[in-house]
Structure 1
Amino acid sequence: MNRRHFLQHTTAMSASLLASATSASGGQFTGKIRKSLKWSMAQKAAKDMTLVEAFKKLRACGYEGVEPSLLFGHVTEENAEEWVAASKESGLIIDGTVGGRSEGLEAGIDLTKKIGGDSMLVVLAYPQEQPLQKTWDAAVARMKEAAPHAEKQGVRILIENVWNTFLISAYDMARFIDEVGSPWVQVHFDIGNMMRWGVAEHWAQVLGKRSVKLDVKEYDLERAMNEGMRKGFDKPLGEGSINWAAVRAELAKINYSGWAAAEVKAGDWEYLADVAKRMDKVLDL
């Protein structure tokens, strides 16, 4: 083989190896983002199964984790050990919980720790009969109060952006987290919720590393305008108004690595598997 042919052969082989390596590595966030879902999405499909059987089915559907709600009583002190056992036997990780309101933070943190979760999603109340500054100050103080307990237990308190009209700007959320001033109080960033008022990738940009976990849902502005605001959530993942490529670009800038939980309507096993595949596409897994 002469020198020219050798170089051509070497170049072709290198290109082939690079293509194989790229294909093997998967998408932009393969190995960085792990898929979870809210337990309420699977409850209907799992109604005639044991928890272990349901967890195994969720694994087969493509999920690595699950997030039960403490607010809705999915997990209690009485059944916590059942959840722990099902997680161990199935390999499905209980990555966190939906803790609800701020009143029971410490108890929720303890229960989350007991079942193996490392975060508790919290929704901040917005009593509109009182001044906004009073609500803000009380919420900041409550998070500061709970932060040492969260650190002790190794469970982060993650504030979610929701529709109760409190913290509806990315700058409001960022300022709130910064005023609390603890790495144990951060954001559970819902990629769909803010589309009613804002732009998903702008939230991702402003929040930056404050976003510790993600909720994944779609939102369609045209449907919301024509049929009602909540109808905006009815579009399947990847078929609405969210610019997922732009969201991924902002997540890449902070080298996001962690959990992303589907939070869409409930359905059967085939539907849940389809949601997992759609997550692969919109998150480039």
Structure 2
Amino acid sequence: MTPNRRDFIKVASATAALSTLGTASMTQAAERPRSNKGRIFKANKGGSIGANKEQMVAKLQQYKDLGFDGLEGGIPGIPDLGALREAISEVDFPVHGVVDGVHWKDRLSSPDPAARQIGVEALVEAIKGCHAIGGSAVLLVPGKVTGDDETHDDVWSRSIIEIRKVLPVASRYGIRVLIENVWNGFCETPEQLRDYIDEIDSTWVGSYFDIGNVRKFGKPEDWIRVLGQRIVKLDVKDWGVKNGFCRLGEGDVDWPAVRTALAEIGFTGWATREGGDNSLEDTAQLMDELLDL
């Protein structure tokens, strides 16, 4: 059947929408069912969140007004956990977890036992602090491959020993320790990360899957399928060969494929933006679009 002019215009318009991120993509996303609304919760990295309760309330309210569901903090870094807990209650806006703030310097994989001990103590502090503000998990980088005295095998074995030391504390406070995939020379295939988490063999340890970090090594959707329900939370970033870390949607991440993979594993939980876009409003809109929120 020969297409008429009206059919041609429809096809041309659809093609243009698919090839453009910007406004056309926003419109297209708005027409899709928001299948992850109420299943995936939108957050941003908040750091210290504020120096006092007044600042904390203002920051939490700002993000709430923009349509975010929560923030993530960092320990050490939050100056007054009690004030933050009051601010969270006052605004009715959660801080869903914290980032371990010393895991790069005082690594659990360090060849120096004293550094590893500092790392363990800091992780315990982060677990307790996370519990104090009503969070659910601590993001942890387990180590870094640095050379002959800190090899991949060393990072694997040393970090597992140290993480196991904190598991009774994690269990007591009900806080999970989630391993983030980063550019640290460790577990650069999904199978390695899967096996690493499985060797720890604890309900209290899972994956904090960073969508953008992994794009350098492979396709996030493939990693998602291999890691499966080990994934507890998501870090939301984009990355491309040409432009590195970038505005969401402008890198090499295939967001429709990521959404499909997340649906296949039944993911539900927090997705936290790390990095910047044109503005916080831009970030909120892009996350809604790319994750169907």
In the alignment, what sits opposite 1:109? 127
- Which amino acid is the alignment partner of residue 60 of structure 2? F
1:58-84: CA deviations, max 9, x gaps? 10111111111115x1x14xx111111
Q: For 1:109 and 1:128, how far apart are their aligned partners in 2?
A: 30
Runs of 4+ in structure 1 displaced over 6 angstroms? none
5+ residue gaps, structure 2:
1-29, 109-118
Q: For 1:210 and 1:62, how far apart are their aligned partners in 2?
A: 28
In the alignment, what sits opposite 1:89? 90
Distance 1:25 1:243, change over 3 A: closer
1:192 to 187, 212, 218: 212
Check whether the contact 1:41–1:265 (CA below 8 A) recurs between aligned residues. no
Residue-pair matches, total: 244
Matched, 1:160 2:189: no
Check whether the contact 2:152–2:185 (CA below 8 A) recurs between aligned residues. no
Q: For 2:223 and 2:180, how far apart are their aligned partners in 1?
A: 12
Matched, 1:233 2:245: yes
How far is the alpha carbon of 1:40 from its aligned partner? 4.1
Matched, 1:28 2:35: yes
Q: For 1:185 and 1:40, how far apart are their aligned partners in 2?
A: 23
Q: For 2:95 and 2:72, how far apart are their aligned partners in 1?
A: 6
Query: Residues 255-270 of structure 1 correspond to what in structure 2 (within 5 A)?
Result: 255-265=266-276
5+ residue gaps, structure 1:
1-22, 224-231
Q: For 1:51 and 1:249, how far apart are their aligned partners in 2?
A: 36
- Which amino acid is the alignment partner of residue 51 of structure 1? M
Check whether the contact 2:276–2:283 (CA below 8 A) recurs between aligned residues. no
Distance 1:42 1:107, change over 3 A: closer
Identity of matched residues, %: 34
How far is the alpha carbon of 1:41 from its aligned partner? 10
- The normalised TM-score by structure 2 is 0.78
In the alignment, what sits opposite 2:81? 80
How far is the alpha carbon of 1:147 from its aligned partner? 1.7
In the alignment, what sits opposite 1:227? none
- The normalised TM-score by structure 1 is 0.80
Across the aligned residues of Structure 1 and Structure 2, the Cα RMSD in angstroms comes to: 2.3
SS in 1 for 2:245: helix
